[in-house]
Amino acid sequence: MNLILYIIIFIMGTLFGSFYTLAVYRIPKKIDITHTHSFCPNCGHKLGFWELIPIWSYLFLGGKCKKCNKKIRPRYFILEILSGLVFVLIAYTLKIDAYNLQTASLIKFAFLVLYLACIFIIAGIDKEERRIEKSVLYYGIMVSCAYIIYLCIMGQTSIYRYVMYLVTLIVLLILDTEYQITKAKQNYYIETLMLIIVMIVNTTEFVTILSVAVVCVSIVLTKIIYYLKNSLNKYKKEHKDLKQIHKFAYLLAIANVILLIGQMKLYY
């Protein structure tokens, strides 16, 4: 029975994974993510029912588009499996049990699923374009607000801690809008700070601070290795490019998901 439940959770994870990759592809191109039918990016061929099923469609079609034979990047296939595994791990750490279903665990699971959608899509777009997609960030802020309201209704938390985060978020939103109006471009740093607050609300302060620390240390280490390998002049010249290479939000999201699962395994 539990095996069936976890298979269902895995399939659910792959479906969500398929949606994340679609969102990462479509949102920056301003293509509707819910109403437009899935299509091959190369020839525009509309995908049939079997071609829409994650993992299976990849194996079924041999990793190629049915019409134009263009190779589908295996990345999609890998991401769908990873997403399924993350869902299973989270359900497992929340001790979701088919014989003893607890409403609180299921609600926590549902909130984490909503949160993961925000984190995965932000990470994907940041990896491709090195920017934080604002609409997805706003969605994450809404999920965080809903979670805070839920925790307060259940009396699981003191409201004051979260009021502080909400006030900080509002201040950052104002600063970000101000920057956008005056400079006519996005501010990666303000948006990263907002993302960090969304992370704190959904995955606790401990996991978030640890995630930030891990990412900072790994960036510093890469810089040191890069410096040791190259001469100082070259380093100075290429430092600007190197800065572009580090996709902070992308790295932060990966660290956050791994540490979240690790921490839940320890405490639940």
Q: Is 72 in the site for Zn ion (CB under 5 A)?
A: no
Q: Is 65 in the site for Zn ion (CB under 5 A)?
A: yes
Q: Is 61 in the site for Zn ion (CB under 5 A)?
A: no
Greatest Cα-to-Cα distance within the chain, rounded to the nearest angstrom: 64
Helix (H) or strand (E) holding 144: helix 134-153
Contact region with Zn ion (CB under 5 A), list: 37-45, 113-121, 150-158, 211-219: 37-45
Q: At its nearest, how many Å lie between Zn ion and the CB of residue 35?
A: 21
Select 13 or 54, whichever has its Cβ closest to Zn ion. Answer: 54
Q: At its nearest, how many Å lie between Zn ion and the CB of residue 42?
A: 4
How long is the chain? 268
Q: At its nearest, how many Å lie between Zn ion and the CB of residue 69?
A: 7
Select 67 or 161, whichever has its Cβ closest to Zn ion. Answer: 67
Q: At its nearest, how many Å lie between Zn ion and the CB of residue 57?
A: 13
| Among 5, 12, 22, 40, contact with Zn ion (rule: CB under 5 A) | 40
| Among 42, 157, 158, 222, contact with Zn ion (rule: CB under 5 A) | 42
Cα–Cα distance measured from residue 172 to residue 175, given in angstroms and rounded to the nearest whole number? 5
Number of residues interacting with Zn ion: please give it, by CB under 5 A.
8
Task: Calculate the CA dihedral of residues 15, 20, 25, 29 and round it to 10 degrees.
Answer: 120
Q: Is 43 in the site for Zn ion (CB under 5 A)?
A: yes
Q: What share of the chain is helix, strand, coil (3-state, %, to 5)?
A: 75, 0, 20
Task: Count CA within 13 A, CB hemisphere, residue 90.
Answer: 28
Select 7 or 43, whichever has its Cβ closest to Zn ion. Answer: 43
Query: How far does the chain reach from its first CA to its final CA, in angstroms?
Result: 22
Cα–Cα distance measured from residue 168 to residue 171, given in angstroms and rounded to the nearest whole number? 5
Q: Is 106 in the site for Zn ion (CB under 5 A)?
A: no
Residue 243 burial (CB < 10 Å; 0-12/13-18/19+)? exposed
- Phi/psi region, residue 155 (left: phi>0; alpha: psi -120 to 50; beta: rest), is left
Contact region with Zn ion (CB under 5 A), list: 39-47, 127-135, 158-166, 187-195: 39-47
Select 46 or 265, whichever has its Cβ closest to Zn ion. Answer: 46
Which residues contact Zn ion by CB under 5 A?
40, 42-43, 45, 65, 67-68, 70
